[in-house]
Amino acid sequence: TKHLLGIKDLTTRDIELIFETADTFKDVLNRPIKKVPSLRDITIANIFFENSTRTRLSFELAQKRLSADTVNFAASSSSVSKGETLIDTVNNILSMKVDMVVMRHPYAGAGIFLSKHVNAQIVNAGDGAHEHPTQALLDAFSIREKYGEVRGKKIAIIGDVLHSRVALSNILCLQKLGAEVMVCGPSTLIPKYIGTLGVKIEHDLLKALNWCDVANMLRIQLERQDIKYFPSLREYSMMYGLNKQILNSLDKEITVMHPGPINRGVEITSDVADSKQSIILDQVENGVAIRMAVLYLLANQRNQ
């Protein structure tokens, strides 16, 4: 496809091709010279209307490793605060001869909207509580790296599914790769649409952990929550927080993931986040290779 707006638009073969390309780029990233000239004729604008550490730096590093020219735009320091619209903002950036736009935005569907109104390739770096496709790709790639394949693996996505864009993208990606997926959390944090996706739903943390091979612990999204519908943070961490005692009580060794940023002591304790069972920093490392693969494959689609 011309854009990467969501995992929804990718076939299983598209995802496998991204992984095979990321394998090659991961080798490149382990060499003394980590740079290839593949995108030296491409200019990419990273436009972030929401805060980010991992995704923004990971995309920028991926672009630099591919020799693309990059410009960075943070809405908070831009003329968006003077009332400029999304389309005007992006068209002004594109007038400066930009080929691709990587965008994070608080509204679901912002990337889809933009792709219909501007003449550039759009990569969704997270749109509201909708999709975060490169996060799901790097998560599934990390599971494949750990176990050799994703097919047949049992993945529990645990926590604030309601406000999460990581959850939907992960569910779609893992199902396309043949994994079994469960979501687990209090019913107030499990959205109704989840019931239509063919995933298991569990409200008991221990049952979910005993079922899964991999637990992907989601962050409680304090910035999106309406507090009156929530368990308090204390109640949440007592019922759904993963600590070392719980992990050690399971009769098998599961793998722990987290997309970051972590609320240490809420959804996961430090002794779990920093344990040998955690692949959290492997996820971050793999993010650069995955984003290199996505940008490289999209650039090859430009003139087709």
Known binding-site residue numbers for L-aspartate: 82, 165, 219
Q: Which of 117, 261, 271, 274 binds ligand CP (CB under 6 A)?
A: 261
List Cβ neighbours of 169 (8 Å cut-off, separation of 6 or more): 6, 7, 131, 132, 133, 135, 136
Looking at 177-279, list the stretches that DSSP marks H as alpha helix, in order from N- to C-terminal side: 205-211, 233-240, 244-249, 270-273
Strand partners, 200: 182
In terms of Cα–Cα distance, which of 175, 265, 256 is closest to 213?
256
Non-local CB neighbours of 268 within 8 Å, separated by 6+ positions: 217, 241, 242, 243, 256, 258, 262
* Cβ 33 to ligand CP shortest distance, Å: 27
User: To the nearest whole angstrom, how small is the minimum distance from the Cβ of residue 227 to ligand CP?
Assistant: 21
- Which residues contact residue 253 at a Cβ distance below 8 angstroms, ignoring those fewer than 6 apart? 277
d(CA 167, CA 92): 33
Only one of the segments 72-80, 173-181, 239-247, 255-263 lies at the binding site for ligand CP (rule: CB under 6 A); that segment is 255-263
| Rounded least distance, CB 258 to ligand CP, Å | 9
| Interaction residues for ligand CP, span 96-135 (CB under 6 A) | 126, 135
Q: Pull the structure tokens for residue 233.
A: 């943070």
Q: Least CB distance from residue 135 to ligand CP, whole Å? A: 5
- Here's the x/- map for ligand CP, 37-66, by CB under 6 A: it reads as ---------------xxxx-----------
Q: Under the criterion CB under 6 A, does residue 207 sit at the interface with ligand CP?
A: no
Q: How many residues bind ligand CP (CB under 6 A)?
A: 9
In the complex, what is the shortest distance from the CB of residue 170 to ligand CP, in angstroms, rounded to a whole number? 11
Which pair of tokens denotes residue 146? 């750990």
Nearer to ligand CP among residue 38 and residue 216 (C-beta): 216
Annotated binding site for carbamoyl phosphate: 54-55, 104, 132, 135, 260-261
Looking at residues 128 to 157 of the shown chain, list those that interact with ligand CP (rule: CB under 6 A): 135
Provide the binding-site residues for ligand CP, judged by CB under 6 A: 52-55, 126, 135, 259-261
